Amino acid sequence: MANPPLTNSSLPFSSFAATLPDPQKAEIVRDVYKKHATELLAIEEAQQKLTLLLLAVFGAGASFLSAEKKPSLSDPAKAGLTLVVLSILWVGLRYTKRRDLARSSVRDLLVDCEKALGLFDMDVYSRGLPLYSKPRQEFASKGGWLSSNFWIAALAALGFLVVLWVA
């Protein structure tokens, strides 16, 4: 059974946070924001490293195979390499999906911190305007290009398999 959605009256209340003066609350929100920003960078860098690693492996393998004068692999060896490639792609896809969900969650937390700091509120940081415009609140849904880059690596794997079986 799913939990009921939280409403303002059912949100958890921290008696500790309630005793803190506003400047301390703001400092905590800034520290949390920095932590989430660092975490987001690590998530995005990990995804980029995976894509670059896969591109390098499949590109090098295809270059090696295409440089051979006479194919040296038997059909069972080719089938084994095909299974390895498919397994690597499967793990990479699962990793990419998990990283994508984590990236979106952390971006959502960053927007929550920005809201808590009043960056979207009128007249807080600049007269007659919010510091951040409404579209910035959509930040959590951005950054999907990192996940779509995985498919470039999948194309490289397909190229490797073509070279493996055709050359």
Nearest partner of 65 among 82, 50, 49, judged by Cα = 82
User: Given this model, what pLDDT does residue 84 score?
Assistant: 95
Higher per-residue confidence, 1 vs 167: 167
pLDDT tens digits, 108-165: 999 999 999 999 999 888 888 888 888 888 888 888 888 888 999 999 999 999 999 9
| The two structure tokens encoding residue 85 | 């490639």
pLDDT for 9: 52
Per-residue pLDDT at 61 exceeds 70: yes
Token pair listed for 87:
């397994």
40 — pLDDT class (breaks 50, 70, 90): very high
Question: Are the beta carbons of 101 and 40 closer than 8 angstroms?
Answer: no
Helix axes 22-67, 75-116, angle to 10 degrees: 160
- For residue 153, CA distances in Å to 24, 54, 86, 123, 148 come to 46, 6, 12, 47, 10
- Cβ atoms of 107 and 140 closer than 8 Å: yes
The more confident residue out of 91 and 17 is: 91
Alpha-carbon gap, residue 96 to 98, rounded angstroms: 5
Between 76 and 137, whose confidence is greater? 76
pLDDT band at 104 (very low <50, low <70, confident <90, very high): very high
